[in-house]
DNA sequence: GCAAAAGTGTTCATAATACACCCATGT
DNA sequence: ACATGGGTGTATTATGAACACTTTTGC
């Protein structure tokens, strides 16, 4: 610090805003918050909350997630900080955006409904308050970037899943169709999932083997999974 | 916001801490701040400052950089937010870490000295206050990640440079020796630099052509430049 | 002429892509 | 028996890494 006078320095309001992603019926969705109370009643926003004294921003994000979905042990990740002085019309608020991936089937839908939240397809996000559209877009981009270099799915798919389901998840994230054969070979080459002695026969007569993720500790992925560029 | 009562919510102290990287004599360096005034006199830290009312965190980072190096128009980038409640012994401070790349030759060395700052090789960063070692390490990792997918150098090298100089910069960032022939081919294939009709004869009898960067608008790099993994 | 850096070319291994083809089975 | 998704194999091309070789020029 050039001049660290703690008590003379003005303080700021800090919030977290979470882009909570879930995957359902082959579609990637984001959890949005429909404000049925003032202020900003009738507006839609990301799910957020204040950062309190004596807690980290991660802690605040966990708190918000727990309150809204009933889930603890959610994977969250810092994305970016948004701090333009006028971004929040209610006052000067600096917000930290987080990404969270959750299994829609496991969360507490009643809790979500009770808070006036709802799941929305990521390709049709409505107008949100403040800069939340920018934040959500940035978060989606971040998720794509992440899915290009890490195998996502552990936090979005059921514990046991087929490679086709994993591919459809990737299809929905990147909004493109991956070749079934090549996708399968690529994923298996990562050595990150193991086949179970069990088939899903709901999608085909032949049946597709279920797989599960190995423990994260046993996975090391140092290569790109998906070649993805803005221009695709 | 689940419950947005602006005036009831406690505020926090926000700072920025910059990992300012420069490149000199084939060595990647970071600008550190030697505190010769209280508090924390005699301790070494990253270069930082408070975030004031009515300014973005980026603005605060620019302000700090300008004050210390005399440079405006510096490339900065958000890296991560550090917010553990006890990270700063002087009180609860949330800090946003930034990376900045500057040309050491162009900055104002007197200003730097006057503030008690100094350049240090990135591979021998001393003990820093608080969590600044973690921040610096994270920033270096971030820079490597960035250099893997974007051509860095525009902000670190002189306007006119040889491919060998660019390679040496990459050597210093990744702490490894890239093959001269392969590196040259890779870089040229990116179509991001143009050859000038001018040679640098200081390093060899034959002389090496100078190059300069194209305008950023004219560059699109969608491929990996350097294959880099933690395990290298 | 030779040392030394600049720059080009060649080879081999691996990875990405497109796509043909076989497999299993419920109807 | 055939349609359908599951799964494997193959051919082609692109990329990466190692390294030999050629160029230039000051000494």
Q: Could you please report the per-residue DSSP string of B113-146?
A: HHTTEEEEEGGG----STTHHHHHHHHHHHHHHH
Same domain assignment for residues B136 and B176: no
Query: Which residue out of B2, B64, B65, B229 would a mutagenesis test of the A interface target, given it has the greatest number of A Cβ atoms within 10 Å?
Result: B2
Are A118 and A228 contained in the same domain?
no
Is A140 found in the same domain as A88? yes
Does residue A100 surpass a pLDDT of 70? yes
| Nucleic strand D interface residues, CB < 7 Å | A 162-164, 180-182, 184-185, 199, 203-209; B 179, 181-182, 186, 201, 204-207, 223-224, 227
Both A155 and A40 in one domain: the answer is no
Domain stops at, among A91, A125, A149: A149
Asked, for residue B213, whether it belongs to a domain, the answer is yes
B4 Cβ contacts chain C strand, under 7 Å: no
- Residue B171 near residue B160, CB atoms below 8 Å: no
Rounded to an integer, the average pLDDT of A10-36 is 95
**Secondary structure class of B147 (helix, strand, coil):** helix
Enumerate the residues of chain B whose CB falls inside 8 A of the CB of residue A222: 229-231
Please list every residue in chain B whose beta carbon sits closer than 8 Å to the beta carbon of residue A99. Answer: none
pLDDT at B189 over 70: yes
| Contact present, A14 and B12 (Cβ < 8 Å) | yes
Most confident of B164-168, B215-219, B223-227: B164-168
A29: in domain? yes
Neighbouring-strand partners of residue A41: none
Amino acid B231: pLDDT: 47
The beta-carbon neighbor of B51 closest among A4, A12, A227 is A12
Measured distance CA(B184)–CA(B207) in Å, rounded: 15
Q: What is the pLDDT of residue B93?
A: 96
Summary mean pLDDT of chain A: 92
Cα–Cα dist A140/A134, whole Å: 10
Mean pLDDT of A38-67: 93
pLDDT beyond 90 at B22 = yes
A219 against B50, higher pLDDT = B50
For the segment B6-31, the average pLDDT, to the nearest whole number, is 95
pLDDT bucket at A231, cuts 50 / 70 / 90: very low
Over residues B144-148, the mean pLDDT reads 94
Q: What is the DSSP letter of B66?
A: H
CB A88 within 8 A of CB A129: no
Mean pLDDT of B211-225: 86
Question: What is the phi-psi region of residue B116: left when phi exceeds 0, alpha when psi lies from -120 to 50, beta otherwise?
Answer: left
**Stretch B161-166: mean pLDDT:** 98
Q: Residue A214 belongs to what domain range?
A: 151-232
Q: Is the CB of B178 less than 7 A from some atom of nucleic acid strand C?
A: no
pLDDT for A159 equals 95
CB B221 within 8 A of CB B151: yes
The beta strand positions in A125-218, using DSSP E, are 161-162, 193-200, 208-213
User: Residue range A72-88: average pLDDT?
Assistant: 95
How much is the mean pLDDT over chain B?
92
State the SS3 of B19-32. Answer: EEEEEECCEEEEEE
How far is Cα B7 from Cα A93, in angstroms, rounded to an integer? 11
Nucleotide nearest A223 (Cα, C1'): C15
List phi, psi (to 5°) of A80: -165, 160
Residue B230 has pLDDT above 70, yes or no: no
pLDDT at A229: 59
Which residue in B has a C-alpha nearest to residue A132's C-alpha?
A: B1
Question: How many helices and strands (H and E) does chain A possess?
Answer: 5, 10
pLDDT in tens, B88-105: 988 999 999 999 999 999
Of A10, A14, A229, the CB nearest to B94: A14
Query: Is A180 exposed, middle or buried (CB count within 10 Å of its CB: 0-12, 13-18, 19+)?
Result: exposed
Residue A4 placed within a domain? no
In sequence order, the 6+-apart residues with CB closer than 8 A to the CB of A196 are: A160, A209, A210, A211, A212
Coil/strand/helix, residue A55: coil
Rounded Cα–Cα distance for residues B29 and B122 (Å): 5
Q: What is the percent of chain B with per-residue pLDDT over 70, rounded to a whole number?
A: 96
Q: Given CB atoms, is A8 within the 8 Å cutoff of chain B?
A: no
- In this structure, the answer to whether residues A156 and A115 fall within a common structural domain is no
- Are B67 and B178 part of one and the same domain? no
Q: Are residues B140 and B160 in the same domain?
A: no
CA A181, C1' D8: Å apart?
8
Q: How far apart are CA A49 and CA A132, in angstroms?
A: 13
In a domain, A5, yes or no: no
What was the pLDDT predicted at B2?
Answer: 46
Are A161 and A222 contained in the same domain? yes
Domains contained in chain B, number: 2
Q: With 60 as the cut, is the pLDDT of residue B186 above it?
A: yes
CATH value at residue B101: 3.90.79.10
On whether residue B5 sits in a domain, the answer given is no
* The pLDDT of residue B229: 60
């Amino acid at each position: 610090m050039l001049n660290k006078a703690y008590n003379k320095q003005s303080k700021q309001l800090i919030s977290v805003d979470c882009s909570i992603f879930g995957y359902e019926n082959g579609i990637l969705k984001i959890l949005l918050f429909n404000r049925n109370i003032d202020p900003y009643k009738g507006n839609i926003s990301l799910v957020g909350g204040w950062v309190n004294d004596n807690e980290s921003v991660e802690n605040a994000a966990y708190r918000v997630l727990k309150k809204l979905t009933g889930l603890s042990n959610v994977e969250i990740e810092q994305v970016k900080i948004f701090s333009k002085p006028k971004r929040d019309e209610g006052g000067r608020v600096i917000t930290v955006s987080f990404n969270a991936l959750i299994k829609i089937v496991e969360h507490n839908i009643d809790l979500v409904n009770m808070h006036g939240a709802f799941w929305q397809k990521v390709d049709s996000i409505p107008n949100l308050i403040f800069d939340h559209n920018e934040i959500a877009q940035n978060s989606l981009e971040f998720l794509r970037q992440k899915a290009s270099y890490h195998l996502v799915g552990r936090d979005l798919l059921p514990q046991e899943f087929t490679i086709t389901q994993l591919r459809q998840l990737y299809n929905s994230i990147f909004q493109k169709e991956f070749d079934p054969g090549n996708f399968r070979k690529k994923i298996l080459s990562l050595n990150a999932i193991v086949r179970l002695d069990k088939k899903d026969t709901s999608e085909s007569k032949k049946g597709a083997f279920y797989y599960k993720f190995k423990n994260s500790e046993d996975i090391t992925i140092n290569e790109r999974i998906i070649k993805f560029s803005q221009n695709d």
